[in-house]
């Protein structure tokens, strides 16, 4: 298995992707594999960006990964933070390391010399293009790369004696859309602006589109220039002048230096700087001046200008440019059909990768035809050439429509995946939606790893949940492994790709795991949003589990509170509150049928003497033993349902279901009286009590539980008055005595 080099970047698109891909190419050429950890840009204030902090904690784990060295795109990652914080970030790594674009003392660093190329650009614009009222589009005010380019802009203006209008200095955060809006506002309020100089190509592209939308001709009305010479510079017609950094050289030096550290233990502090150069394209020069003047009859001049324009963008390998230029000249001058035949033969070979060149070439040819249209002898020839070129335009249009459809489909697939993932609440749903997305983007291989628990930093243990290979998703049986291993065996050793990208799965300021994807042949714009959607799904699942756990805990607490509210804490029997509710419900049920119930009111005789003699602790023990004896009697002496409750102090009630033939439960009452007359023992002491029992019968003595209980209570008082340790059943003669006291009264001393 190849040894691995890690690359740290905050995104894998645009300029960043260009650098990463070149670095990966150099890594592969030296026999290593590459792991690109793609989290977020470093933040200056962690408190305001919890998601960024959680994502970027993945960087800190890289030093524990099975990698030999680390390449950090420090300049790009630290655009919005201080050099001190960048240095602190880099200091956490102990493995061999090289930084690109910026760095810290003690680590090898490779940067580009932006000054040389920017000076060339300013000289070209001020002397050759003759600009007088340029606008400067900065990335982020005070940011290192913006400041370098803005300083050269200001120096160039001052050196050429051109005043700087500060209203023409705008900021667009390196973004195409922001540049479009800011430039639109600028050109509408200041139409005399004749140049738009942007700190990168993405902003230059936005500026060019804004100028064109306002009817400005490029470069006749306004010239456009960018920086970095990325694909964005050639996405516009006319192609945009830019400053090219030697990124291939930068990548080669960075990898060479890191491999030297790895293999030779050479960790000397060095700073490499690669150059930059101006790439002049049609956006900053008047188009083919020789063709509008006397030079129209010069074959050599014509070929020289056309060749210059056609080579502004790298021509496709299958296009013989010199032959095509000669055929074009012959077609315009002599109506030679060879040009049309050549165009017809090349038309089917136009691919997506060559669209920009063909678009630029057709624009160049159409511009060249304008001069020939002015001359009667060549007018028909020029029209024939333009007709042939129209076929190319149609091919470009149809190919772009297809591309637009595929891009729209990709965006819809991503949007659907985000919606489906974000709304998932089960792990199985998350995995199924991930499989659908990986299939839609036609990923060659991919993995989803979840940490044992979510947090602001990665957990040390993880679980592989999904393996996607050969257009098939495999739900993995639980495979627990150390997070620092990236993938468990045998998946790590069996992964065929030598380039994988790791995206943190995050939400709510926590990191839940990561996606690991082979990026070959993929457009991975929007993957961060997918990872965030997975994070939201896992967060939702976690929140639902927390809510369920809290609900269960609350239910248990409520049950406990209900038990405490309805049960006697000393004996565990139902208490006064429970007895009230239970008797109401039981009597309602009895009224609907033909049930007969006996209500016994029990009050201990001599209990106060036990408390006074042995103390309240002994009294409590006695009450518990009384409860046990009563329960035993009801279980063994009564074969029908019964109910026992402690009302308060030494008062108890018993409710008995009666047989149809049973008028009063004398046997049970007598058993109660006898069992409670037996001696009680506690802590070596002996005590005796007795019980006075009053009884009433439902429905013989009443239908209301309050009344029936009051009658039983009155009968119990009469039993006490008769000498205690007595059983007395209510009779009609005692109705008057039952008027008082209330049934559920406070405890009294016996």
Question: What is the rounded CA–CA span in Å between residue 427 and residue 602?
Answer: 60
Which pLDDT does position 519 carry in this prediction?
Answer: 92
Model confidence band, residue 560 (pLDDT cutoffs 50, 70, 90): confident
Rounded percentage of the chain residues whose pLDDT exceeds 70: 95
**Residue 732, phi then psi, degrees to nearest 5:** -60, -30
Q: Is residue 750 part of a domain?
A: no
Question: What is the rounded CA–CA span in Å between residue 658 and residue 643?
Answer: 12
Question: What is the rounded CA–CA span in Å between residue 596 and residue 575?
Answer: 23
For residues 194 and 128, is the Cβ–Cβ distance under 8 A?
A: no
Which pLDDT does position 29 carry in this prediction?
Answer: 95
424 or 571, which is more confident: 571
Model confidence band, residue 95 (pLDDT cutoffs 50, 70, 90): very high
Residues 98 and 123 placed together within one structural domain of the fold: no
Residues 545 and 652 placed together within one structural domain of the fold: no
Which pLDDT does position 370 carry in this prediction?
Answer: 85
Residues 137 and 276 placed together within one structural domain of the fold: yes
Residues 154 and 171 placed together within one structural domain of the fold: yes
Question: What is the rounded CA–CA span in Å between residue 126 and residue 119?
Answer: 11
Residues 204 and 308 placed together within one structural domain of the fold: no
Residues 277 and 305 placed together within one structural domain of the fold: no
Which pLDDT does position 733 carry in this prediction?
Answer: 56
Closest CA to 329 of 316, 342, 318, 313: 342
**DSSP code of 214?**
T
Which pLDDT does position 743 carry in this prediction?
Answer: 52
Q: Is residue 264 part of a domain?
A: no
Model confidence over 369-401: pLDDT tens digits?
888 888 888 899 999 999 999 999 999 888 888
248 or 741, which is more confident: 248
Report the pLDDT averaged over residues 538-557. Answer: 81
Residues 709 and 580 placed together within one structural domain of the fold: yes
Sign for the pseudo-dihedral over CA of 412, 418, 424, 430: positive
Report the pLDDT averaged over residues 238-259. Answer: 93
Residues 688 and 703 placed together within one structural domain of the fold: yes
* Gyration radius of the chain's alpha carbons: 45
Find the domain containing 238 and state its range. 111-247+270-286
Strands (E), 397-522: 445-455, 461-469, 472-475, 480-482, 499-507, 510-517
Q: Is the pLDDT of residue 613 over 70?
A: yes
Count of other CB atoms within 10 angstroms of residue 538: 25
Q: Is the pLDDT of residue 741 over 60?
A: no
Residues 416 and 489 placed together within one structural domain of the fold: no
Model confidence over 336-353: pLDDT tens digits?
999 999 999 999 988 888
For residues 742 and 710, is the Cβ–Cβ distance under 8 A?
A: yes
Q: Is the pLDDT of residue 744 over 60?
A: no
Model confidence band, residue 742 (pLDDT cutoffs 50, 70, 90): very low
How does DSSP assign 713-750, residue by residue? HHHHHHHHHTTSS-EEE--GGGTGGGGSS-SSPPP---
Report the pLDDT averaged over residues 343-371. Answer: 88
Q: pTM to 2 decimals?
A: 0.71
State the chain's mean pLDDT as an integer.
89
Bridge-based pairing state of the strands 461-469 and 480-482? antiparallel
Q: Is the pLDDT of residue 748 over 70?
A: no
Q: List the Cα angle 676/681/683 in 5-degree steps.
A: 150
Q: Is the pLDDT of residue 258 over 60?
A: yes
Altogether, the residues listed in the chain come to a count of 750
Rounded percentage of the chain residues whose pLDDT exceeds 90: 61
Closest CA to 108 of 347, 268, 287: 268
Model confidence band, residue 732 (pLDDT cutoffs 50, 70, 90): low
Q: Total domain count for the chain? A: 4
Q: Could you tell me how far CA 370 lies from the centroid of its own chain?
A: 54
Q: Is residue 580 part of a domain?
A: yes
For residues 642 and 586, is the Cβ–Cβ distance under 8 A?
A: no
Of the listed ranges 37-41, 95-99, 556-560, the least confidently predicted one is 556-560
Closest CA to 202 of 181, 172, 223, 222: 172
For residues 204 and 226, is the Cβ–Cβ distance under 8 A?
A: yes
Closest CA to 706 of 698, 694, 718, 717: 698
Report the pLDDT averaged over residues 68-86. Answer: 90
**DSSP code of 313?**
S
Helix 355-373 × helix 299-310 angle, to 10°:
150
Residues 429 and 544 placed together within one structural domain of the fold: yes
Which pLDDT does position 292 carry in this prediction?
Answer: 45
Residues 440 and 349 placed together within one structural domain of the fold: no
Distances (CA, A) of 136 to 195, 219, 518, 567: 8, 16, 39, 81
Q: Is residue 629 part of a domain?
A: yes
Residue with tokens 């008769």: 722
Report the pLDDT averaged over residues 633-643. Answer: 91
Which pLDDT does position 267 carry in this prediction?
Answer: 67
Report the pLDDT averaged over residues 541-557. Answer: 81
Residues 198 and 333 placed together within one structural domain of the fold: no
Which pLDDT does position 745 carry in this prediction?
Answer: 45
């Amino acid at each position: 298995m190849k040894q691995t080099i890690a690359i740290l970047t905050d995104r894998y698109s645009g300029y960043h992707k260009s650098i990463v891909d070149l670095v990966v190419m150099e890594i592969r050429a030296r026999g290593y594999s590459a792991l690109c950890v793609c989290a977020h840009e470093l933040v200056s204030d962690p408190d305001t960006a919890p998601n960024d902090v959680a994502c970027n904690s993945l960087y800190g784990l890289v030093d524990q990964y099975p990698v030999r060295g680390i390449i950090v795109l420090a300049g790009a990652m630290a655009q919005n933070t201080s050099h001190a914080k960048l240095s602190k970030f880099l200091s956490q790594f102990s493995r061999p390391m090289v930084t690109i674009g910026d760095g810290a003392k003690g680590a090898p660093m490779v940067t580009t010399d932006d000054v040389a190329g920017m000076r060339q650009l300013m000289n070209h614009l001020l002397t050759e293009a003759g600009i007088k009222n340029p606008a400067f589009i900065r990335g982020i005010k005070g940011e290192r790369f913006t400041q370098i380019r803005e300083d050269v802009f200001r120096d160039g203006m001052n050196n050429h004696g051109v005043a700087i209008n500060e209203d023409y200095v705008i900021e667009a955060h390196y973004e195409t859309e922001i540049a479009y809006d800011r430039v639109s506002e600028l050109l509408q309020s200041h139409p005399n602006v004749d140049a738009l100089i942007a700190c990168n190509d993405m902003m230059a592209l936005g500026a060019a589109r804004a100028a064109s939308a306002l009817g400005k001709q490029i470069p006749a009305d306004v010239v456009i220039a960018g920086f970095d010479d990325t694909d964005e510079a050639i996405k516009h017609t006319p192609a945009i002048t830019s400053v090219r950094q030697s990124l291939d050289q930068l990548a080669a030096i960075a990898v060479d230096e890191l491999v030297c550290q790895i293999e030779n233990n050479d960790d000397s502090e060095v700073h490499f700087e690669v150059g930059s150069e101006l790439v002049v394209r049609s956006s900053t020069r008047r188009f083919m001046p020789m063709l509008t003047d006397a030079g129209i009859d010069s074959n050599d001049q014509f070929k020289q200008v056309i060749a210059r324009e056609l080579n502004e963008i790298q021509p496709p390998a299958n296009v013989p440019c010199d032959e095509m230029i000669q055929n074009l000249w012959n077609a315009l001058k002599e109506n030679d059909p060879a040009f049309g035949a050549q165009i017809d033969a090349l038309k089917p070979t136009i691919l997506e990768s060559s669209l920009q060149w063909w678009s630029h070439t057709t624009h160049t040819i159409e511009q060249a035809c304008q001069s020939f249209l002015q001359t009667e002898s060549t007018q028909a020839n020029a029209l024939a050439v333009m007709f042939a070129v129209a076929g190319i335009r149609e091919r470009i249009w149809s190919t772009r429509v297809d591309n637009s459809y595929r891009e729209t489909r990709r965006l819809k697939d991503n949007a659907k995946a985000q919606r489906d993932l974000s709304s998932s609440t089960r792990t199985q749903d998350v995995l199924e939606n991930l499989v659908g997305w990986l299939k839609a983007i036609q990923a060659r291989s991919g993995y989803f790893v979840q940490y044992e628990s979510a947090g602001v930093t990665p957990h040390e243990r993880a679980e592989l949940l999904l393996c996607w290979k050969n257009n098939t998703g495999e739900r993995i049986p639980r495979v627990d492994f150390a997070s620092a291993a990236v993938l468990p065996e045998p998946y790590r050793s069996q992964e065929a790709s030598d380039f994988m990208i790791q995206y943190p799965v995050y939400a709510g300021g926590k990191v839940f795991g990561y996606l690991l994807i082979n990026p070959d042949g993929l457009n991975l714009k929007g993957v961060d949003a997918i990872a965030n959607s997975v994070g939201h799904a896992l967060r939702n699942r976690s929140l639902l589990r927390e809510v369920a756990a809290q609900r269960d805990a609350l239910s248990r607490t409520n049950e406990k509170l209900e038990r405490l509210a309805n049960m006697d804490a000393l004996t565990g029997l139902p208490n006064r509150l429970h007895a009230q509710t239970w008797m109401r419900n039981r009597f309602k049920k009895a009224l609907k049928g033909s049930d007969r119930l006996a209500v016994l009111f029990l009050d201990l005789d001599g209990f106060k003497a036990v408390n006074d003699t042995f103390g309240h602790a002994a009294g409590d023990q006695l009450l518990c033993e009384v409860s046990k004896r009563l329960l035993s009697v009801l279980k063994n002496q009564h074969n029908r349902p019964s109910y026992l409750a402690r009302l308060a102090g030494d008062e108890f009630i018993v409710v008995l279901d009666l047989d149809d033939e049973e008028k009063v439960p004398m046997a049970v009452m007598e058993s109660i009286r006898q069992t409670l007359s037996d001696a009680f023992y506690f802590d070596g002491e002996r005590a005796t009590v007795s019980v006075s029992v009053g009884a009433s019968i439902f429905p013989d003595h009443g239908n209301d539980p309050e009344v029936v209980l009051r009658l039983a209570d009155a009968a119990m008082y009469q039993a006490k008055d008769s000498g205690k340790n007595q059983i007395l059943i209510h009779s009609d003669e005692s109705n008057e005595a039952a008027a008082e006291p209330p049934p559920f009264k406070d405890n009294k001393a016996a």
